[in-house]
Structure 1
């Protein structure tokens, strides 16, 4: 069965930069601040200034570094930087020059970064002061000269893009302008590579996800159509209602939620992005209040902090809507978070391969059943079993997707691309879900399901249950091999306890699971207390690292059996 959205729209044939800077579909004006530093709001760029900087930097990319010189979509500029006000301008200008913008986490090691550089065929690298040394070491491993490494500084009222080799400032020298190509051909928009992002690698080596103009334009417009429909309904009900879009960039921008959610969507939504260099809770709370943040999109670990921190008072009084993504959020945490925020919290689900969110909830609709919201307009979904036949309503299966926001495949990896799609062109998400009472639910990652005596255990279900305990601050569940050689996997919980008086023992946590979940879902692999749960830049649990740690521990202990 093919599931359809509530509505489809006609999409314009327009490239991303023209959508942001030229189109009436963007609700920003020439004097609208697009990007500003949260700590120093006067350090900002308006839409008119951003357009000028984009064209000036595009000229530098083309004439000094040869980006786009031999045609569009061929030269890769990789950015490994903490959050900055001018980071979006690097993104815009690389695309304007005909290049491909690629992003790498600022936390990568030199060898990890070098692997991404080599795979993507990186031509130029942009670092920040904090990543300069790592980037330089990685570049040496790849044979990239220092003359093609630039350091961006745009916080604290600094404005420079200096070449490592000679210190020359490429921002200040960029007086000439290069305009971008206006594209209206549908096939070119669909095929033109403008962004190369690497999948999280939670279950295997990262793959380069190819993202086109059409992907990013669709992901910018389709959710906005739904938001504007909501705003119209609110205005009809209350003529005095008004909404000014303001959001806070607090997650690392080196993933699809950054490139789409911080660089692109706000320019269409009509308001500024305020940039934090990195997340910390006190500053985050202060900025949400002082900057009157009206829309917030973040990840479950941060909502968990909001739900349980005594620092949270009334800092979110200007918030109209909040959204959670990157991982499932249990209904208990969602309910608790809504009480602390004072507004609805919806869930979105998507992947790098779907250019971000594939689902979204209308802002005046509240669901606390743990659903991932309705699918976006112009998208399609199937849920299939192991035989790829459609699962019955309410039955679990792998989620397959189609739509203009879905990638065409993986960079330089035709085999992985072929394996990712069915013969009919459906993308295999690897997520296991179901549809019930008209709502979609994610059960777990297909490769992360724990198998015990022929039954499947979803880590997300156990995690949601344990996060409901007041003393538990964070948790991750994996399956470890049963040492009896049966091939069974035993659920193990890694738990971060909160500070303060009182705590929970491993036996108390096991007892809580025993009183709430079926026999095959018990924590037979034990409970391990840790200081932090390993996560990637977008907040997803790195279960692979936990499994590797468990394997090392098992070898040290001589395959000792876990206490049951």
Structure 2
């Protein structure tokens, strides 16, 4: 383990290299190190030390990165909180994590007696009072909270060894190098942004530019201005980019590849991005419990549309039958993972930890198939599976058919209650950008489904929404859609 992403472990030769910037601040590696030490001194004065937890409730900005590393400088862990959370949501994460200090934009938003430090009060010049750093791979580094699609969010415990393994795995897969430059647009309360966009380039002395939010035109303007070599984003972002008017022709020649992850995307989207912008778009797959990513289509090599690529270096991805045996390539089962990136467990949740890690494999809850070359195709979530009259139906197959219609931006399929079959297929779609919801021809979508799917997979209803609901990390919120179906009884008809 190298821990080369930590400022106190970096080579002195990095000192004057450009390190990180946002719209307010630009720092070299040496300047970042000093800012980290200054913030660490403040946290130490408030009682933070080895084993403590620091909560960081900030939008994307340089100070968020500084605060996380300042906690690490003291042997503490950091838990990044979605800055748009309500007080109840934030209080749950702060209380569950046992955070000692919260760093926030607005100190008044945090309730209770916890110590709150306003981001504008963070020191920038260290006094030199800190002892030498002593960071171990076994030290807890991050408490990343799951999106909470079932019950209250759980804290995923990631230690420095997990992060180091993830950086090494991803860095080798994308051939990260010192002259790379990542444009970070995903929210930094998510481990994807932390590991893929931030720490991986930091480990080799590359550059990072942090954007606070995404807007299609502003994002492309940032690409032209900062000249990044790669970025990572979710399918919705790429859908918005390819939907821009044809006269929007940005100079994206600096980008050598882009990564798509966090949610399933249809193969048509990848083809559209590559045709429109000219750089390869590679799809990856992983979980917070695996410190972000476990597979990815290669940047230089065979990319198979419809798959999320082979296992990343240093990881083992397999398919498991319900009886716990591993099945051959070509057979369907649960995706399971081994590697140094697999989490320590869930904070204070021994039963959930045992359920997910008990047999030595990380159980993902995803249904997948490995092909003859070891490329993984995700069929669906086990919990999303619809059982209609005893037949298993996987929503992703139906969603892919709906996505293939050019009028559809996003699609989600859930099970609706039915007195005869138990469950039936219900679909929700949103219209492509700049198109009214009325432009979606529901009859044509149903006819497309009838032509490409067996009868039991054809939705009993297709509902057109202005936008599909999302959870805090940008994934379509299927529990919300299921609740809508259950509450409104929208299992029949064309729309709601």
RMSD, aligned α-carbons: 2.3
Distance 1:464 1:178, change over 3 A: farther
Which of 36, 40, 55 aligns to 1:54? It is 36
Match for residue 21 of structure 2?
Answer: 36
Query: Could you tell me how far apart the structure 2 residues matched to 1:374 and 1:180 are?
Result: 41
Q: Is the 8 A contact 2:411 2:427 kept in 1?
A: no
Match for residue 90 of structure 2?
Answer: 113
Q: Which deviates more from structure 2 when the two are superposed, residues 173-182 or residues 209-218? A: 173-182
1:202-281 matches, cutoff 5 A: 202-228=149-175, 244-281=179-216
Distance 1:262 1:320, change over 3 A: closer
Q: Is the 8 A contact 1:255 1:537 kept in 2?
A: no
Match for residue 235 of structure 1?
Answer: none
Matched, 1:175 2:142: no
Distance 1:512 1:417, change over 3 A: same
SS at match of 2:297: coil
Query: Could you tell me how far apart the structure 1 residues matched to 2:353 and 2:185 are?
Result: 32
Query: Could you tell me how far apart the structure 1 residues matched to 2:305 and 2:219 are?
Result: 28
Distance 1:83 1:320, change over 3 A: same
Match for residue 157 of structure 1?
Answer: none
SS at match of 2:84: coil
Q: Which deviates more from structure 2 when the two are superposed, residues 333-342 or residues 491-500? A: 491-500
Query: Could you tell me how far apart the structure 1 residues matched to 2:132 and 2:397 are?
Result: 48
Deviations 1:274-320 (A, max 9, x none): 12211111210100112112101111111111222216423322210
Query: Could you tell me how far apart the structure 1 residues matched to 2:417 and 2:81 are?
Result: 33
Give the drift of 1:124: 0.8
Q: Is the 8 A contact 1:80 1:125 kept in 2?
A: yes
Give the drift of 1:22: 2.8
Q: Is the 8 A contact 1:198 1:208 kept in 2?
A: yes
Q: Is the 8 A contact 2:243 2:432 kept in 1?
A: no
**What TM-score comes out, normalization by structure 2 length?**
0.93
Deviations 1:347-376 (A, max 9, x none): 110000011111133321242431111111
Matched, 1:92 2:72: no
Query: Could you tell me how far apart the structure 2 residues matched to 1:324 and 1:226 are?
Result: 14
Q: Which deviates more from structure 2 when the two are superposed, residues 496-505 or residues 403-412? A: 496-505
Q: Is the 8 A contact 1:383 1:390 kept in 2?
A: yes
Distance 1:179 1:221, change over 3 A: farther
Matched, 1:418 2:354: yes
Distance 1:388 1:65, change over 3 A: same
Where in structure 2 are there 5+ consecutive unaligned residues?
A: none
Query: Could you tell me how far apart the structure 1 residues matched to 2:238 and 2:302 are?
Result: 17
Give the drift of 1:262: 3.6
Structure 1 ranges of 4+ moved more than 6 A = none
Q: Is the 8 A contact 2:185 2:232 kept in 1?
A: no
Aligned residue pairs, count: 491
Give the drift of 1:49: 0.7
Distance 1:523 1:45, change over 3 A: same
Query: Could you tell me how far apart the structure 2 residues matched to 1:561 and 1:105 are?
Result: 34
Distance 1:313 1:458, change over 3 A: farther
Give the drift of 1:428: 0.7
SS at match of 1:489: strand
Q: Is the 8 A contact 2:426 2:462 kept in 1?
A: no
Distance 1:518 1:291, change over 3 A: same
Query: Could you tell me how far apart the structure 2 residues matched to 1:334 and 1:532 are?
Result: 21
Matched, 1:542 2:494: no
Q: Is the 8 A contact 1:98 1:180 kept in 2?
A: no
Query: Could you tell me how far apart the structure 2 residues matched to 1:378 and 1:478 are?
Result: 35
Query: Could you tell me how far apart the structure 2 residues matched to 1:509 and 1:407 are?
Result: 42
Where in structure 1 are there 5+ consecutive unaligned residues?
A: 1-11, 153-159, 162-169, 232-242, 555-559
Match for residue 427 of structure 1?
Answer: 362
Q: Is the 8 A contact 1:323 1:348 kept in 2?
A: yes
Give the drift of 1:490: 2.3
Query: Could you tell me how far apart the structure 1 residues matched to 2:449 and 2:132 are?
Result: 57
SS at match of 2:450: helix
Distance 1:456 1:495, change over 3 A: farther
Deviations 1:107-139 (A, max 9, x none): 21111111111111121111124xx55x32xx2
Query: Could you tell me how far apart the structure 2 residues matched to 1:387 and 1:256 are?
Result: 31
Q: Is the 8 A contact 2:35 2:124 kept in 1?
A: no
| RCO comparison, higher one (Cα < 8 Å, 6+) | 1
Match for residue 149 of structure 1?
Answer: 116
Deviations 1:252-272 (A, max 9, x none): 111101222343112124322
